Amino acid sequence: PPDFNFNFSTRSSKRGGGTAFISSSILSAKPVLFDHFTTFEYTAAVFSSPQILCVTVYRPPKQSAIFIQEFSEFLSILHNCFERIVLA
Protein backbone atom coordinates (compact mmCIF):
# COMPACT_ATOMS: atom_id res chain seq x y z
CA PRO A 1 0.00 0.00 0.00
CA PRO A 2 1.06 3.63 -0.41
CA ASP A 3 3.10 5.06 2.48
CA PHE A 4 4.19 1.61 3.64
CA ASN A 5 7.42 -0.38 3.32
CA PHE A 6 7.63 -4.08 2.55
CA ASN A 7 10.47 -5.86 4.39
CA PHE A 8 11.14 -9.43 3.25
CA SER A 9 13.61 -12.30 3.10
CA THR A 10 13.42 -14.92 0.37
CA ARG A 11 13.99 -18.60 0.96
CA SER A 12 17.58 -19.63 0.45
CA SER A 13 16.98 -23.31 -0.17
CA LYS A 14 13.72 -23.49 -2.13
CA ARG A 15 11.75 -21.55 -4.69
CA GLY A 16 8.98 -19.22 -3.54
CA GLY A 17 7.97 -18.40 0.00
CA GLY A 18 9.97 -16.50 2.56
CA THR A 19 9.05 -14.17 5.42
CA ALA A 20 7.96 -10.53 5.45
CA PHE A 21 6.26 -7.69 7.28
CA ILE A 22 4.79 -4.34 6.30
CA SER A 23 5.51 -1.12 8.18
CA SER A 24 4.59 2.53 7.85
CA SER A 25 7.06 4.53 5.78
CA ILE A 26 7.02 7.12 8.58
CA LEU A 27 9.08 4.64 10.62
CA SER A 28 12.71 4.31 9.61
CA ALA A 29 13.62 0.61 9.37
CA LYS A 30 17.02 -0.94 8.70
CA PRO A 31 17.20 -4.66 7.78
CA VAL A 32 19.23 -6.83 10.15
CA LEU A 33 20.88 -10.18 9.39
CA PHE A 34 21.86 -12.70 12.03
CA ASP A 35 23.37 -16.18 11.67
CA HIS A 36 21.90 -18.56 9.12
CA PHE A 37 19.59 -21.12 10.70
CA THR A 38 18.45 -24.30 8.95
CA THR A 39 15.23 -25.10 10.84
CA PHE A 40 13.38 -21.78 10.44
CA GLU A 41 13.25 -18.62 8.33
CA TYR A 42 13.08 -15.02 9.53
CA THR A 43 12.96 -11.37 8.50
CA ALA A 44 14.32 -8.74 10.89
CA ALA A 45 14.55 -4.96 10.88
CA VAL A 46 15.41 -2.32 13.47
CA PHE A 47 13.21 0.72 13.88
CA SER A 48 14.79 3.80 15.40
CA SER A 49 13.67 6.28 18.03
CA PRO A 50 13.19 4.28 20.18
CA GLN A 51 15.21 1.36 18.86
CA ILE A 52 12.90 -1.64 18.41
CA LEU A 53 13.75 -4.90 16.67
CA CYS A 54 10.88 -6.41 14.69
CA VAL A 55 11.22 -10.07 13.66
CA THR A 56 8.88 -12.43 11.81
CA VAL A 57 9.67 -16.13 12.06
CA TYR A 58 8.38 -19.09 10.06
CA ARG A 59 9.03 -22.69 10.95
CA PRO A 60 8.28 -25.06 8.07
CA PRO A 61 6.07 -28.02 9.02
CA LYS A 62 8.88 -30.55 8.60
CA GLN A 63 9.91 -31.69 12.08
CA SER A 64 13.52 -31.19 13.10
CA ALA A 65 15.16 -32.35 16.30
CA ILE A 66 17.48 -29.33 16.39
CA PHE A 67 14.77 -26.64 16.02
CA ILE A 68 14.56 -25.92 19.76
CA GLN A 69 18.34 -25.65 20.00
CA GLU A 70 18.60 -23.30 16.99
CA PHE A 71 15.62 -21.18 18.04
CA SER A 72 16.98 -20.84 21.59
CA GLU A 73 20.30 -19.68 20.15
CA PHE A 74 18.45 -17.16 17.95
CA LEU A 75 16.49 -15.78 20.92
CA SER A 76 19.71 -15.45 22.93
CA ILE A 77 21.30 -13.45 20.12
CA LEU A 78 18.26 -11.15 19.92
CA HIS A 79 18.17 -10.68 23.69
CA ASN A 80 21.88 -9.86 23.87
CA CYS A 81 21.66 -7.25 21.10
CA PHE A 82 18.34 -5.47 21.72
CA GLU A 83 16.25 -4.29 24.67
CA ARG A 84 12.95 -3.97 22.79
CA ILE A 85 11.85 -6.85 20.56
CA VAL A 86 8.61 -7.61 18.71
CA LEU A 87 8.58 -11.25 17.60
CA ALA A 88 5.84 -12.78 15.46
* pTM of the complete model: 0.81
Structural domain range at position 48: 4-87
From residue 8, alpha-carbon distances to 30, 66, 83 in Å are 12, 25, 23
Contact assessment for residue 46 and residue 77, using Cβ atoms and an 8 Å cutoff: no
Higher pLDDT, 42 or 12: 42
**What pLDDT digit, counting tens, does each position of 24-67 carry?**
888 888 889 988 898 998 999 999 888 999 999 998 888 788 99
Contact assessment for residue 45 and residue 61, using Cβ atoms and an 8 Å cutoff: no
Whether the bond between 31 and the residue before it is cis, its omega within 30 degrees of 0, is no
Contact assessment for residue 46 and residue 86, using Cβ atoms and an 8 Å cutoff: no
Number of domains present in the structure of the chain: 1
Percent of the chain residues past pLDDT 70, beyond the cut: 94
